[in-house]
Structure 1
Amino acid sequence: MRRSIATVCISGTLEEKLESIARARFDAVEIFENDLIASRLSPREIRQRCADLGLGIDLYQPFRDMDGVDEARFRRNLDRAQRKFDLMVELGAPMLLVCSNVQPDMICDDELLASQLHAMAEKAAERGLRVAYEALAWGHHVNRYLHSWEIVKKADHPHLGLCLDSFHILSRGDDPAGIETIPADKLFFLQLADAPMLAMDVLQWSRHFRCFPGQGTFDLARFVEHVLMAGYPGPLSLEVFNDVFRAAPNRRTTLDAHESLLFLEEQVRQRIAARAVADPAAAQLAERIELFNPPAPPTLKGVSFIEFAVDAASGHVLARALEGLGFDRLGAHRSKDVTLYQQGEVRLILNQEPGSFAADFFQRRGPSICALGLATDDGQRAVNRGVAFQLPRYAGRVGPNETIIPALRAVDDSVIYFVSQALEERGFLESDFVIEAGRQGHSRAGIRQVDHLAHAYPLEQFDTGVLFNRVVLGLAPQPSLELADPHGLVRSCAMVNDDQSLRIALNVSQSRTTATGRTAETLQGGGIHHIALACDDIFACATRVRAGGIALLPVPDNYYDDLAARLDLEPGLVERMRQFGVLYDENADGAFFHFYVRSFVGSFFFEIVQRVGRYAGFGAANAAVRMTAQSAQ
């Protein structure tokens, strides 16, 4: 498929945008009128610049309020359109996007609209151009795609067709299945945008909160499936209005944009293949259309290990904390200044090797998590998938007879290792570490495994993080939540795999004074700042941890007074929770006990949790209490 993007999606001058779009490997662009007007280049020079960069120009847009006007205004509009057509000839843009009229004084007469669009298409045809008519979701009279089709059908001109925009159709709740009833030769252009579900004015929703496929909640795969099944022959083009994207550096944004289209193509290909089993037309489409077909997402089975970048001082502090939490120091690396700690299935690695990736990470971000090892069925396939989506492989220094673990550089510049079952069975840690005699990593504090991780992102990289976790790791986003920090709001979106063995909460805040905002700024691109560890008996674990000299986060008495008033809990249970600072949540599926260790080495902290029944949340109801207590600390 030909892949295109509107210049309005990203930041910069038109010249900067075109260079960034070409570097991200797009095939073509939609030129947004405001970008052209502000450019120092003439239309002919823009055309040549695109040609030099290997970019086609698929569309010029937008032309507004053309239809449903009186005769005098229509004549002025037609004169304006002809000037745009002359410009398009110089620019080399074959198609003009015409939006449905949004003015409240327009004439709501379909016959009039059709005749005016016919006249406009006639003028376009004289220059070998085409006109794509789009129903804006907030159009005064025409705001549904089937209505726009009825008008185009009445106009009956070969140079007039439809532009279908996923946002305008899906934000209205329209069923895209009707697209398959529209003749393919009338489907001139396709624009794609995802969006989170928001209860707000559709115009403001569209202008500020669109995002790339995979970053929102729209079912774009089904939408595109219907468009392709209708026989649409043109490009897949992104048109996204987003305040954050238009302020962020355009290099990362255009890479995300291209990755999102590849991910969407993969989803659409799978849908068409499934439909082809019983639908001959889908089978024919599957044979002739070329959609992106990367290696399958990894089957993840939780966290294999977590690696910290430290220096001698912070490494000493963290080592003492781990021992207090009941971790055994299993041993040291054979060729590097790296130490391994374990309790139950939880493996934590402290890396202070000079001149290494971890040392560079520490210099830039201080003591922090620099790498994450994920247990998977096939580590090499996981890396190959990432590379297919334009992520770089990572290869660190490996000593003689040490294990090579397939790895990628993540979008926050950390490393993701993919530890296959075969590596686990071969005892890859025993190959790399000298395990001290008698050290087994027993659950001395009752900690069994990693329950979840929390990752802070800067505002401009949050959607990048969502896309990475969804596309590369195959995690599914859960509904977003807003959490109250004493200094502002924090948005949290949990990403989980099918069996809940890997849970990562992505957090972002517009305020740099919140704990999340400060952490994202300190870590220069974000990073994991919170590890939740699972146990089977929260009170036994709290007792052992406290006996190990670990300070627990204090929780106000008011919390427990309110808890006793809200929920039907035994008084003795509430008092035990008060004693250890244990927080509690419950729902129809089960219950959740959790307490926090005071923050150390910067803003990093541990949480200990116990899940009862099938509770799958994260105790969000307690987040404000926790963040307030940490702020006081």
Structure 2
Amino acid sequence: MKTNNLKFLNLVLLGGKTEQKLYAACKAGFDQVEIWREDIQNNSKGLSSITKLAIQKGIGFTNLQVLRDFTGIPNGQYIQKRKELRQFIHIAQAIGCDAIQAPASTREDCLVDKIDDDLRWMASEAIRYKMKIMYEPMAWCSVDNTLPLAWERIKRLDQPNIGLVVDLFHVYALGGDALQLDDIPVDRIYEVQLCDIAEKPPKDKNSLINIARHERQLPGKGIIQIDCFIDKLKSIGYRGPIGIEVFNDKLKCLPPEEVAQQAWTALNNYWP
């Protein structure tokens, strides 16, 4: 049975120039892409060519990635981070994107007492431009490194335009499972990123980062019990974007159209 969820591909999976990657994702069948600021900055034809191609091909943008370590910034650095957020908003607006991905802090010197205030400011600034903030708990974050922890913060802050990124890698890397979704209202899940891993990763930070950024697998190529996760999403009535985020050095070396088609097939095996 066909669902109404928008299906996306994170462009990090594909090699080639930005326009090649957009074209490959569109040809494969994806409704949207997650695009990186670097995809835009490194595009030799400029920002307007990306916008024009997206309009021509009818492909949208799930989010603009990735605003790193915004929260809990030590005193004296927050001004630069706020400027960076505004730059992200400007780029997102230019390409017709309404969401920015901002993971939880990975800094060891993160000022935990400032996180709530920083997130409130981010939300208030973003909502002025009708932007959503996708807050992602990553396995190596110094705070909010699991879905339950990240949800507790978002629930407490009660900002209408901050929601969660659910990334299977980060859930399973720390021993979590689909039950972590039980207490999260479905409308506060802003997107779901599917992937797989060949084996259970060590929990030390460097190993997690290496596997996450270089050795993820397409869904169905590893050990994650993706079916359990999919069943849970369907049982709670998830209707948001669902897609593929796979960092894989070997796949990135293959022709982008070939890899995008593999990703499309893998996604539809789990979410027709």
Query: Into which bin does the TM-score normalised by the smaller protein fall?
Result: over 0.9
Give the whole-Å Cα distance in 1 for the aligned partners of 2:190 and 2:14. 24
Give the whole-Å Cα distance in 2 for the aligned partners of 1:73 and 1:138. 22
Name the counterpart of 2:126: 124
Give the whole-Å Cα distance in 2 for the aligned partners of 1:92 and 1:44. 11
Task: State percent identity of aligned pairs.
Answer: 26
Alignment of structure 1 residues 494-505 onto 2, 5 Å: none
Alignment of structure 1 residues 335-414 onto 2, 5 Å: none
Name the counterpart of 2:53: 49
User: Does the alignment pair 1:72 with 2:76?
Assistant: yes
Give the whole-Å Cα distance in 2 for the aligned partners of 1:224 and 1:67. 31
Aligned alpha-carbon RMSD (Å): 1.4
1:177 to partner: Cα distance: 1.1
Deviations 1:418-441 (A, max 9, x none): xxxxxxxxxxxxxxxxxxxxxxxx
Q: Does structure 2 conserve the Cα–Cα contact (< 8 Å) formed by 1:115 and 1:155?
A: no
Give the whole-Å Cα distance in 2 for the aligned partners of 1:251 and 1:59. 21
Alignment of structure 1 residues 139-178 onto 2, 5 Å: 139-178=141-180
Larger RCO (CA under 8 A, 6+ residues apart): 2
Judged with a 3 Å threshold, the aligned counterparts in structure 2 of structure 1 residues 97 and 194 are, in CA distance, closer, same or farther, namely same
Deviations 1:125-184 (A, max 9, x none): 001110010011111122111111111112211111111111110111113212121112
Name the counterpart of 2:140: 138
SS, match of residue 39 in structure 2 = helix
Alignment of structure 1 residues 78-477 onto 2, 5 Å: 78-109=82-113, 112-200=114-202, 201-265=207-271, 292=272
Judged with a 3 Å threshold, the aligned counterparts in structure 2 of structure 1 residues 199 and 85 are, in CA distance, closer, same or farther, namely closer
Structure having the higher helix fraction is: 2
Letter of the 1:129 counterpart: M
Judged with a 3 Å threshold, the aligned counterparts in structure 2 of structure 1 residues 72 and 224 are, in CA distance, closer, same or farther, namely farther
SS, match of residue 154 in structure 2 = helix
Letter of the 1:185 counterpart: D
- For structure 2, the residue ranges without an aligned partner over 5 or more in a row are none
SS, match of residue 163 in structure 1 = strand
Give the whole-Å Cα distance in 1 for the aligned partners of 2:75 and 2:158. 20
Alignment of structure 1 residues 5-84 onto 2, 5 Å: 5-84=9-88
Look at both structures and tell me which one has the larger radius of gyration over its CA atoms.
1
Letter of the 1:252 counterpart: E
Give the whole-Å Cα distance in 1 for the aligned partners of 2:201 and 2:173. 10
State the aligned residue count: 264
Judged with a 3 Å threshold, the aligned counterparts in structure 2 of structure 1 residues 199 and 39 are, in CA distance, closer, same or farther, namely same
- For structure 1, the residue ranges without an aligned partner over 5 or more in a row are 266-291, 293-633
Judged with a 3 Å threshold, the aligned counterparts in structure 2 of structure 1 residues 143 and 171 are, in CA distance, closer, same or farther, namely same
Q: Does structure 2 conserve the Cα–Cα contact (< 8 Å) formed by 1:180 and 1:227?
A: no
1:198 to partner: Cα distance: 4.3
Q: What TM-score, normalized to structure 2?
A: 0.92
Give the whole-Å Cα distance in 1 for the aligned partners of 2:200 and 2:185. 33
1:71 to partner: Cα distance: 4.0
Structure having the higher strand fraction is: 1
Deviations 1:394-424 (A, max 9, x none): xxxxxxxxxxxxxxxxxxxxxxxxxxxxxxx
1:199 to partner: Cα distance: 4.2
Letter of the 2:41 counterpart: I
SS, match of residue 250 in structure 2 = coil
Letter of the 2:121 counterpart: A
Judged with a 3 Å threshold, the aligned counterparts in structure 2 of structure 1 residues 79 and 196 are, in CA distance, closer, same or farther, namely same
SS, match of residue 245 in structure 1 = helix
Alignment of structure 1 residues 472-491 onto 2, 5 Å: none
Letter of the 1:79 counterpart: K
Letter of the 2:63 counterpart: L
Give the whole-Å Cα distance in 2 for the aligned partners of 1:41 and 1:94. 23
